[in-house]
Amino acid sequence: MSGTGVRPYREITFDADGDVLGPYGPLADRDVTDLVVFAHGWNNSPGTARRLYASFFAPFPKLVAQTPQARLGYAGVVWPSMRFSDEPIPDVEPPAAGAQPSGPGLDGPTRAVLADLFPGHRETVERLARLLDEQPESRAAFAEFGRLARQLAAVPPGGLEAGFAEDLPHDEQSPPAVLYEDTLTLCRRLAVALDAESGSLYGALPFGGGLRSAWWGAKELLRQTTYYAMKRRAGTVGELGLGPLLGRLARTAPRLRVHLVGHSQGARLVAFALRGLPEGAENVKSVTLLQGVLSHYAFACGLPHAPHSAGVLAALQERVDGPVVACYSRHDSALGVFYPLASALAGDSASAAGGDRRWWAMGHDGIHAVAGTARLTLEEALRDGLPDSGCVSVDAAQVVRRGGPPAGAHSDICHEELARVVLTAGRVGR
C-alpha cells in the first residue's frame, strides 16, 4: 500500500461490526521481526488516516537503523469513525485559512460525513444542521435538538455492535450526561466551557441573558453524542475484529512480535483488542495509548468511589507480554474539559465544572487505581526506559501541546519522541 513512506506496510479495514473488508494478505513479510499496528482515532476518511500514519511512522526507520537484529513492519487499521472539520490534526491536516467558525453551524463536509456514518439518519442530520444555523431562542428547539442528536448515538438494531453494546459494562459506571442530561442545561454548560477554552480564537462568544449563546454548546453536544457512538464502535472493532485477527496471527506467525498503538478512539480500539485476544496468544509485546478516550480507571480491578466495581478492561494488561503505556497531556482540551462534562452522571451538579475525578479520561492524566503503575515524565521515559510489564503513565505534555479549541492538543501526536516511546515499550532490538 503506497502513501505512507514506510515499507513493508499493510492496511486492515474493518466495518462497524468488526468484520474485515476485502482481502488484506499476510500482515508482515517473513523477515519482519516486529509489527507496529496503529489504529487512528476520529478521522473522516481512509486518506486522512493514511496521512496520519505516514507522519507518525516517518521517524521509525531512522530510529531502528542502528538495530540490525530488528526489522519493522507496519500496519494501519482503518475503521468507520468521525472527525468534525474544526478539529485539524497538526502536521497532517492544518486548519485552512479562515477555517474558524463565525457561528456554531455545521459545514457541508461535516454534514456529509455524519450522514454517511449513520445510515438512515440523513434527514436527522439535516434538521440538526438547520437548528444550528437558525439558533431559535426556544426551549422546545433545544429539546428537539437533544432528541435528534441522541438518535445518532442509539445502538443500531441487529448486527454484532448491538449485541456487544448490551453485554458491555459502562466503563464510567453510570449513564453518561451526554445521553440523559436536560439538553438546555448541558448545552449551557458546554458553551461556558468552550468560551473559557477559546479565548480570543473565536472572539467573544455572544453570551447574554437569552438562549442564543447556548447553541455554541449545542454543537458540542452533537460532537459528544457522536463520539459516544464512536466509543462503542471502537470497542466493537477492537474486541470482535482486531483481537481475533491478532489471535490468528499468533498461530500463523508465532515468532512475530506485535506492538499495538492507538490514538484517541483508536487507543480504545487497541485496548479492547485485548478483550478479544484468544487464550494462549502471546504475540502482543506492548500497547501504547496516545491521548486515549477511555476512563482513567479502565484497567482498575476496584474503583476508588466503588471498590466492588471494576473498570471495563480490569487486569487485561496481563494479556500483554510487555507494558501498557498511556501517554497523556494536560493540553488536551477534548479529554480534559469536554470528556468529563459529557461523561458525568446526568444531574450530578458536583461534576458541572468537570473537576470530578470519576469522569476523567486516560489521555488527560494517565492510568489510575492500578497497583504498581509507574508514572514518568516523557524525559524520564526516554532517558531511563520503561518497565518491562504492567501499566505505565507517561506525561507527554512536553510535546503534545499544539491545537486550538475545542480539541486542544488532542491530535498533536506526530513526534519523534512518541515514536521512541513505542519502540522503548516494545523493547525493539533488545
What average pLDDT does this structure show over 273-281? 96
Give yes or no for a contact between 78 and 14, defined as CB atoms under 8 angstroms apart: yes
Rounded (to 5) percent helix, strand, coil in the chain: 40, 15, 45
What's the mean pLDDT when you consider all of the chain? 87
**pLDDT value at 143 more than 70:** yes
pLDDT of residue 350: 58
What percentage of residues in the chain have a pLDDT greater than 90? Answer: 62
| Residue 277 confidence (pLDDT) | 98
pLDDT in tens, 295-331: 999 999 999 988 988 999 999 999 999 999 999 999 9
- SS3 label, residue 89: strand
* More reliable by pLDDT, 25 or 149: 149
Residues in the chain: 430
Residue 290 has pLDDT above 50, yes or no: yes
Report the C-alpha gap between 155 and 174 in whole angstroms: 17
Residue 95 pLDDT exceeds 80: no
More confident position, 101 or 373: 373
- pLDDT value at residue 422: 98
140-157: average pLDDT? 86
pLDDT band at 157 (very low <50, low <70, confident <90, very high): low
Q: What is the pLDDT of residue 68?
A: 82
The confidence score (pLDDT) of residue 113 equals 87
Mean pLDDT in residue range 242-270: 97
- Residues 30-44 have pLDDT tens digits of 899 999 999 999 876
Strand, helix or coil for residue 412: coil
The overall pTM is greater than 0.85: yes
Gap between the Cα atoms of 260 and 35, Å rounded:
8
pLDDT band at 174 (very low <50, low <70, confident <90, very high): low
Evaluated on CA atoms 302, 306, 310, 311, the torsion sign reads negative
Least confident range from 75-89, 247-261, 342-356: namely 342-356
